[in-house]
Structure 1
Amino acid sequence: MSTMKNHHKDPEHLFYSSWTFSKLMAFFFLLISISYLFYSLRFVSHSYDCDQNPHISISHVSETTTTSTTSSLEEERETPKEQAFEETNISHIVFGIGASAKLWKQRKEYIKLWWKPNEMRGIVWLEQKVKNEVSDENLLPSLKISEDTSKFKYKNSKGHRSAIRISRIVSETLRLGMEGVRWFVMGDDDTVFVTENLVKVLQKYDHNQYYYIGSSSESHLQNIYFSYNMAYGGGGFAISYPLAVALEKIQDRCIQRYPGLYGSDDRIQACMAELGVPLTKERGFHQFDVYGNLFGLLAAHPVAPLVSLHHLDVVEPIFPNVSRVQALKRLKVPMKLDPAGLMQQSICYDKTRTWTISVSWGYAVQIFRGIFSAREMEMPARTFLNWYKRADYTAYSFNTRPVSRNVCQKPFVYHLSNAIHNADTNETMSRYVRTQSNPACKWKMADPTQITIVEVHKKPDLHLWDKSPRRNCCRVQRTKKKGTMVIDVGECREDEVVEL
């Protein structure tokens, strides 16, 4: 009993304790409320109108600091705006062309195709003087002789020491002291640039930063022997101005450390590795380490702007039955009308005749009997041989598809004949003609033999590469023109998909 009483308090005591606790809590909350009210009134009494000057104690303490900080921030903000106001254009680019005196007479014809004397800046670097015709003076870049490189070691038994001379072109061009340079672009004398697309690619990057931009070889073995991290010089590459300055400071010492390397571009990449700058890959730079016919590669060009073509002396002319230079002159017509769309592939179907259509705008159109998936059509057909003369699929650094052995599945190929622009409709009309016959086919289905001309209508899209990459769509149009297929090419509409 006594134990039980010790553990229980009487009701009166409990009531007194509860009442005391309640009084304490009420007093506590009252104290907090009064403090909050006092603080609020004090804040209101010190507030000021937004249009008036701040409180004196604030302005006196921080007036100098605020002014200088604001000024500094405004300078930092205005500088990028001023730079961004003038987008990179062709005047900001300086070309360095590696050339050989022995091959200059024939190679200069490639440079004439893309060089614009009144718009572009650049130097052709040779190992010795060449005799230039008077008629060429206004059609080509300036010619200069490279510095003597005999002091540098060269120990590659399969190469040529001219690689050292060519590797120093960027540094020698930099030392000429040209103003307003943002990018140095390297290429060979057998490289053709689509300069409008080159500018569009470089506009994506901040020229005030370190950038080394180019692409790899088409040959898997070439990339293994040299490097997948190397920009191939024939396909061309771009180096931002500050990176060129950094390269020039170390290049001669760097070259001495790599006497066993083969070419100029692997020496550049070795120095880039020492500077810690990786290759930024752009798929439109084309080395073309292949032999034979480029048709398969060009007819299924990746969804990227076409920037350069190289090894034009090695491969067949890109159009049949003409010389290499004549073929490239024909390509200049669509290049001027719509450079962004040049070589861009579109895939669609003629549903009534069960045909697959592939358009490589400005170059060629193919008609296939039957239905081929877009996945298959976007793979280049192996119309070419690897640099090491292998024809199997393991030779390339990308997916390819074999050329069909079934005569009924061989495509009907139509090459560009001409192209015009209608200013009233802002539309291009390009015509493609069949230049060779196809073998007879016994399939009981519509025969494309009846189609002799393909007419493609397309609006130029100057902002094509400002958007996320996507293939254009094509649509077969109804026409009363006998022997003619009419196709519309343009930006894909909402919910438009390449499916039958």
Structure 2
Amino acid sequence: MCSPPIATSSTKQKPLPLGALCKAVAISGVTLLFFYIFLFDKSSVNYQLPSNLFKTLEESFPAATSPLRSSPPTNLRHIVFGIVGSMNTWKAKRPYIEVWWRSNVTRGYLFLDRAPTPEFLPWPSSSPPFRVNEDFTRLKGYPQVRKLVQVRIVRTILETFREGDKDVRWYVMADDDTVLLVDNLVEVLEKYDHEKYHYIGMNSECVKSNFDFSFNMAFGGAGYALSYPLMAAVATKLDGCIERYPYIWVSDFMLQSCLADLGVALTQEKGFHQIDLHGDISGLLSSHPESPFLSLHHLDTINPIFPSMNRSESINHLMKSAKVDHSRLLQQTICYHRPSNWSFSISWGYSAHIYETIIPRSILRRPLETFRPWVHNARAPLYMFNTRWPSNNPCEAPHVFFFESIYQNNTIEGRQIVTTTYSRASQRGLPPCSSSGNHSADFISKIQVQSLPAKRLEARGIDCCDIVYEPDINTAQVIYRACMDGEIIA
């Protein structure tokens, strides 16, 4: 803002008007600016903008109106699996792989520490084709490597890529004691742009495991997915990362460090299950998060997931329901029978619980802590999720039923109905819930659940259900249907 001229006693000339003075100052400033631009010596400037700056920016940030490239939907043939195994344990782990591997359909390789012994030859088509891991002793950082077996594991990424498979969008890496739900994997990976860098997986269930390594790391036992361009990029950098981080003694952490150096962060998918747990994990599987079930790891460190079977039989039994309706597998549905004050919690294809009182969904979605943490003396907080303590209170303890059988039939309208049957594991051994109006469920020995095939989890929404039973019949029927407005509130 221009200030008026200050008059003095010696000033005889009439002062310029205020507007004229401001105009003169402005003209002088503009003149000096042009003088500076055209006459200033450019050779004295230390930094100049590159002449192709705007062209570079245009190439880096294309116009928003440019058309997106379209490609057909991702299918199983777009995925290559890299499985880490060992000849010392292959005999015991083989059933876990063969339950999900599909001959002439799935693509991938089992990487072993040494060639198979004669008892495993000829190699069957029911298992992935095997490869023997490369000798990595030539690496510069080899003498400093703390855990040689972990370097072998992480380099399986590089060796899987070097197989040179064509038309690949995703690489999925896992261990030989991991069961994968490949159809659900396809549905999940289809959500992501395979032409961009993606590192998709999940951390551990236990706080200590994540604290020891990284909360931003995909645990490799659970499995993780790398998009093709990211796999190509990390394949050129991996040996350098091993030499840079020879003190890292866990392969998953080494990979995460390498990817972080490339500027890539983990995208979490809750359906990958590391299972850093011990004991009975039925409480966890009976309250699965609302996301597709993708994997199950550490099967040899937990109890069989069905109490009347061994581990291998249990996994084969679970896959019976997966083959019929993979999207719905382990998805929790909660509904109520108001006349009896009963709450039903169904983990489809796995278990069913009846509670003799009305319990809100917010509580039933927390897993019952039937399991123990990976480290027995770990301090609380133990888990990455909230749990419920098992209880001997008859109003809080469930009647537990496990998946028994599945069959399909058509209705008059030609719609396919899937019926799963769940049988009581054992008598609860508690008196009935004493709350007013509640009824005992001791006489129920089976639960039948009827549903339409889910097709895709994200498309089906939240299920509600109707419960049908007669007091003198030992089977309760649960019929899935769409929820009505306001019904999902307990």
What TM-score does the superposition give when structure 1 sets the normalisation length? 0.80
Instruction: Report the Cα offset of residue 156 of structure 1.
Output: 7.4
Query: Residue 232 in 1 paired to residue 232 in 2?
Result: no
| Aligned counterpart in structure 2 of residue 112 of structure 1, from 98, 101, 104 | 98
Report how far residue 346 of structure 1 moved: 0.8
Cα distance, 1:379–1:155 mapped onto 2, change above 3 Å = farther
Match of 1:209 among 190, 196, 205: 196
Alignment pair present for 1:373 and 2:373? no
1:434 paired to 2:424 = yes
Task: Give ranges in structure 2 of 5+ residues lacking alignment.
Answer: 1-61
2:242 aligns with 255
Instruction: After TM superposition, give the deviation of residue 492 of structure 1 in Å.
Output: 2.4
Q: Does residue 146 of structure 2 align to residue 153 of structure 1?
A: no
| Cα RMSD, aligned residues only | 2.1
Query: Aligned equivalents of 1:392 and 1:333: distance in 2?
Result: 38
Overall identity of the aligned pairs, in %: 37
Q: Distance in 1 between matches of 2:254 and 2:428?
A: 48
* Partner amino acid, structure 2, of 1:115: W
Normalising by the residue count of structure 2, what TM-score does the alignment of the two structures yield? 0.82
Q: How many angstroms apart in 2 are the aligned matches of 1:123 and 1:490?
A: 42
Match of 1:91 among 31, 55, 77: 77
Letter matched to residue 430 of structure 2: A
Contact 1:154 1:260 in 2 (8 A): no
Q: How far off its partner does 1:223 sit? A: 0.5
Q: Tell me the alpha carbon deviations over residues 435-459 of structure 1, each in whole angstroms, 9 at most, x when there is no partner.
A: 2111131544411111011000010
Q: 1:490 to 1:294 in 2, by over 3 A?
A: farther
Q: Residues 22-58 of structure 1: CA distance to partner in whole angstroms, max 9, x if unpaired?
A: xxxxxxxxxxxxxxxxxxxxxxxxxxxxxxxxxxxxx
Counterpart position of 1:361: 348
Q: Is the 8 A contact 1:167 1:267 kept in 2?
A: yes
How many pairs are equivalent?
419
Aligned-residue offset at 1:491: 3.5
2:310, 2:463 → 1: CA distance? 31
Pick aligned residue for 1:461 from 454, 465, 473: 454
Is 1:475 matched up with 2:466? yes
Aligned mates of 1:433, 1:107 — CA distance in 2: 29
Post-superposition offset of 1:410: 1.8
- Higher helix fraction: Structure 1 or Structure 2? 1
Give distance in 1, aligned partners of 2:357 and 2:380: 24
Gaps of 5+ in 1: 1-71
Which residue in 2 is equivalent to 1:50? none
Map 1:326-405 onto structure 2 (within 5 A): 326-390=313-377, 394-405=381-392
Alignment of 1:41-80 (within 5 A): 77=67, 80=69
The structure with the larger Rg is: 1
Aligned equivalents of 1:346 and 1:186: distance in 2? Answer: 31
Amino acid across the alignment from 2:84: G
Relative to structure 1, the CA distance from residue 171 to residue 156 in structure 2 (aligned partners, 3 Å threshold; closer, same or farther) is closer
Distance (Å, rounded) in 1 between the aligned partners of 2:306 and 2:202? 25
Q: Match for residue 450 of structure 1?
A: 443
- SS where residue 236 of structure 2 aligns? helix
1:433 counterpart letter in structure 2:
S
CA distance change for structure 1 residues 145 and 354 in 2, over 3 Å: closer, same or farther? same
Q: Distance in 2 between matches of 1:169 and 1:482?
A: 56
Matching residue's letter, 1:452: S
Superposed CA deviations along residues 101-160 of structure 1, whole A, max 9, x for unmatched, are 110111011000000012110000011011353575110111000111223437676xx4
Which residue of the partner structure matches residue 54 of structure 2?
none
Which of 486, 494, 497 does residue 477 from structure 2 map onto? 486
Q: What is the aligned partner in structure 2 of residue 284 from structure 1?
A: 271
- Cα displacement string for residues 164-220 of structure 1 (whole angstroms, at most 9, x for unaligned residues): 011011211111111001100000000000101000000000100000000010000
Measure, in 2, the Cα distance between the counterparts of 1:482 and 1:234. Answer: 45
Partner amino acid for 2:440?
Answer: D
1:323-377 Cα distance to aligned partner (Å, 9 max, x none): 1010111111110111000000011111111111100000000011112111110
Give distance in 2, aligned partners of 1:393 and 1:374: 25
The one-letter code sitting in structure 2 at the alignment partner of 1:493 is M
Q: Give the Cα separation in 2 of the matches to 1:465 and 1:231.
A: 23
